[in-house]
Amino acid sequence: MKVAEHISNNRKPVLSFEFSRPVSPKATANLSKAIIKLQKLNPDYVSVTFGAGGSNHEGSVELLKKLKEDYDFKTVAYIAGVGLGKDKLIEVLDQ
């Protein structure tokens, strides 16, 4: 379901959280702790912001998979296509 459809189909406020890929072991540990706490709030979906120009998209894809598979979140990838060529954008979307 698209986010806009989800929002229009609900009669309650929609709760979501946005994450970005951690860049250090300490940030990874902190993010894992935060995810566990936020999971208890039962968000309607979570999103992951990819780096500018698609940079570091591999780590973002891994985080999306973890959020979906390990925590059963509905996920959204936030990808700004600015600075990406057509082929690179397709590659990122395919992942």
> pLDDT digits over 20-59, tens only?
888 899 999 999 999 999 999 999 999 998 865 555 667 8
Q: Are strands 75-78 and 45-49 parallel, antiparallel or unpaired?
A: parallel
Tell me how far apart the alpha carbons of residues 61 and 56 are, in angstroms, rounded to a whole number. 9
Cβ-based burial of 28 (10 A; exposed 0-12, middle 13-18, buried ≥19) = middle
pLDDT band, residue 83 (cuts 50/70/90): confident
Strands (E), the chain: 16-20, 45-49, 75-78
Catalytic residues: 18
Structure tokens, 75: 């996920």
Q: What is the pTM of this model?
A: 0.78
